[in-house]
Amino acid sequence: MEIIHVSAECYPVAKAGGLGDVVGALPKYQVKMGHHAKVVMPMYKTKFLYQNEWAVDYKGRTNLGDRWFDFTVIKEKHNELGFDLYLIDIHGLLDREAVYGYADDTERFTAFQIAVVNWLSHWQHRPDVIHCHDHHTGLIPFMMKHCYDYNKLAGIPTVFTIHNGQYQGWMGWDKSMYIPRWDEWKRGMLEWAGTINPLASAVKCAWKVTTVSWSYMEELRYNSNGLEALFEYEKGKCAGILNGIDAQVWNPATDKYIDNHFTTDTVDEGKQANKELLCKQFNLDSSKPLFIFIGRLVGEKAADILPDAIMSSLYNFKDQVNFLMLGSGEPNVEWQLSQLVPAYPGSYNAVIGYNEKLSHLMYSGADFLLMPSRVEPCGLNQMYAMQYGTVPVVRSTGGLKDTVVDMGDFQGWGIRFNHATVGDLTHAIWRGIDLYNNNREHLAWMRKRMMNIDNSWENAVQQYLNLYSSLR
């Protein structure tokens, strides 16, 4: 099958979160299974762009309302990533350093989507499926089905995957003129609650909709930032397919970012060696359990309860625990986490920012990973942690619920709690400390148990392939 993935992110070209990881891995595994998977994404000014060789694939001209623009589709020459990678260059709009966060993001990603369908409509043959990811590509199913200029694409199946349903790409009706030639009576296919809602539009127009875990699919029907009724109505075409992890990038036996490699047989020693390096670098104590957090410091991740839970733990379980935080996001949380550093020397440290290498070192050297998320569509961090024998301490929600079994349950290897509150999180931390101090043998068993779980992509890829086949 020829599968075209359209996304705003793809690791290692540009990544802001889990979406990038998934779009960097899924096509690679589809190619391994004998299919032609391609990724098309915006051309940002990233390191990857400058480090690789490119060939021009197509040059076009189109418009965003009354603003005409030229675009160029360039293709990476040497198949560096294991699949064909195409970048859309729209000078002045997409060629920025960051992926998101600009005042004109609506214009940037709408222009990107228009360029994609314009380019596809010039192909001599038709691909088997167009697989769009998250709201930045949510207008594509509508345009393929309902815009006169892209009529040619109307019969190509579309799949839309929701990696995060909280962000929906809302835009005012004044921007409807950006979308090329369509019949006014079809506005219902773009609208939700009075605005153009690209995520809702994709749920209505795509042939199939998937989310990145089964539990998240269920949760969207009662908690999806206003789209609950839509998910209830469209549940017949929705399915949950749990993400996998890229075992080439996330493997403690070969990880290029860590110094002490390990396998299930050497996990205890390997982890301790990495923990010692980490603790030395961040002024922590390697004889105590090390709890880490890695991620965006936002409400969705319940990052706001971390400072109080850390203070409460350091107060109640004095001298028995270490914390190391890595993340960036809401300024007040960044500030609070930074303020704790001088208050607890030797037991607590925080790095505000994004650091891929450090994240690998942390997964490999830590004992526990905290994920108190309020919403977690799939969550990759807990799966990476499990791959490195780091006990996930998670709230029972979405993909966390689908991938972590509590150590109190039969053959469980994690710690689960129900509420994103300081009390619940502190109690979960206590369970971790108790395990580390009083039941080291069981901890060693849990590490091996979780490292043996197969979270690889092969299984998920097969489910996507079955889904595509059902549409042909």
Which residues fall in the annotated binding site for ADP-alpha-D-glucose? 15
The reply to whether 389 sits near ligand ADP by the rule CB under 6 A is no
- The beta strand positions in 121-229, using DSSP E, are 129-133, 158-162, 191-192, 195-196, 208-211
> Are 364 and 266 a contacting pair, CB within 8 Å?
no
Q: 141 or 329: whose CB is closer to ligand ADP?
A: 329
Q: 372 or 379: whose CB is closer to ligand ADP?
A: 379
Whole-angstrom distance, CA of residue 5 vs CA of residue 129: 9
Pick one of 356, 409, 434, 458: the residue that binds ligand ADP (CB under 6 A).
356
Pick one of 6, 8, 14, 18: the residue that binds ligand ADP (CB under 6 A).
18
Whole-angstrom distance, CA of residue 286 vs CA of residue 466: 47
Beta-sheet pairing, 391-395 with 36-42 = unpaired
| HSE of 308, CA atoms in CB hemisphere, 13 A | 12
The reply to whether 167 sits near ligand ADP by the rule CB under 6 A is no
Whole-angstrom distance, CA of residue 43 vs CA of residue 338: 34
By CB under 6 A, the residues from 291 to 350 that bind ligand ADP are 294-296, 326-328
The reply to whether 270 sits near ligand ADP by the rule CB under 6 A is no
Residues 6+ apart with CB under 8 A from 204: 142, 189, 230, 234
Place of tokens 């694409």: 153
The reply to whether 365 sits near ligand ADP by the rule CB under 6 A is no
| CB 311 to ligand ADP: min, Å | 21
The reply to whether 432 sits near ligand ADP by the rule CB under 6 A is no
Binding site: which residues?
15
Pick one of 223, 355, 396, 462: the residue that binds ligand ADP (CB under 6 A).
355
The residue nearest ligand ADP at its CB is: 18
Pick one of 58, 100, 354, 445: the residue that binds ligand ADP (CB under 6 A).
354
Q: 120 or 162: whose CB is closer to ligand ADP?
A: 162
Q: 157 or 244: whose CB is closer to ligand ADP?
A: 244
Contact string (CB under 6 A) for ligand ADP, positions 125-164, x = contact: ---------------------------------------x
Q: Dihedral (C-alpha) 460, 7, 138, 302: value to the nearest 10 degrees?
A: 70
Beta-sheet pairing, 368-371 with 290-297 = parallel
Q: 312 or 403: whose CB is closer to ligand ADP?
A: 403
List residues bridging with 322 in a β-sheet: 290
Number of Cβ atoms within 10 Å of the Cβ of 464: 24
- Kindly list the residues in this chain that would bind ligand ADP in the complex (CB under 6 A): 17-19, 21, 164, 294-296, 326-328, 354-356, 359, 378-381
